[in-house]
């Protein structure tokens, strides 16, 4: 077996960092904890801006896509990550009416869209966001996510 001839490199080439593919860069980020962990998360949401409202449920986060829901609502959306922070958007719909006729859902049965940003770690995430209700009213919220399992 013949040996490959060694390519000559100029001193300038030695100062330049080796180029990596975007996929390699992403995988190296994952090894240092910069990637959000895919899986099943519990979520607890609290409304802000003086509005009394909260909800809990689960979310599945997988490679920039989120799907989830709880006893009355379901959501779908997308997210991006970078350096321990993440941001995204989601649409939420009501799938079941409340058992108590005196309870009024904030969304009144209409789809609501939200944007959020926050931080994450191996154990979960924290976000603050804004939900647009009925296309004309915006409300703030905060949410805590706890990683439960691989999904």
**pLDDT digit string (tens) for the chain, length 151 residues:** 444 444 444 444 444 444 433 333 333 333 345 688 999 999 999 999 888 888 899 999 999 999 999 988 999 999 999 988 999 999 999 888 888 888 777 777 788 999 999 999 999 999 999 998 877 889 999 999 999 999 8
**Position 14 in a domain:** no
**Position 119 in a domain:** yes
* Selection from 95, 98, 97, 144 nearest residue 124 by Cα: 144
**Position 117 in a domain:** yes
Tokens, residue 66: 């989120």
Give dist(CA 7, CA 96) in Å, integer.
67
110 and 136 Cβ atoms separated by less than 8 Å: no
Residue for token digits 């001193």? 11
HSE value, Cβ hemisphere, 13 Å, CA-based, for 48:
11
Give dist(CA 53, CA 11) in Å, integer.
64
**Position 40 in a domain:** yes
Give alpha helix (H) positions in the chain: 11-15, 22-31
CATH number at residue 70: 2.40.128.380
**Position 76 in a domain:** yes
DSSP 8-state secondary structure symbol assigned to residue 113: E
């Amino acid at each position: 077996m013949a040996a490959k001839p060694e390519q000559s490199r100029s001193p300038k080439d030695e100062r330049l960092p080796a180029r990596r593919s975007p996929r390699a860069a992403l995988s190296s980020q994952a090894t240092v904890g910069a990637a959000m962990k895919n899986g099943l998360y519990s979520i607890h949401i609290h409304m802000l801006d003086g509005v009394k409202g909260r909800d809990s449920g689960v979310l599945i986060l997988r490679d920039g896509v989120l799907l989830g829901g709880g006893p009355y609502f379901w959501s779908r959306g997308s997210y991006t990550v970078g350096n321990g922070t993440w941001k995204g958007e989601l649409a939420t719909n009501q799938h079941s009416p409340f058992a108590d006729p005196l309870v009024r859902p904030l969304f009144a049965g209409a789809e609501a869209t939200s944007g959020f940003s926050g931080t994450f770690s191996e154990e979960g995430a924290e976000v603050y966001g804004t939900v647009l209700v009925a296309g004309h009213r915006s409300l703030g919220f905060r949410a805590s996510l706890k990683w439960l399992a691989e999904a």
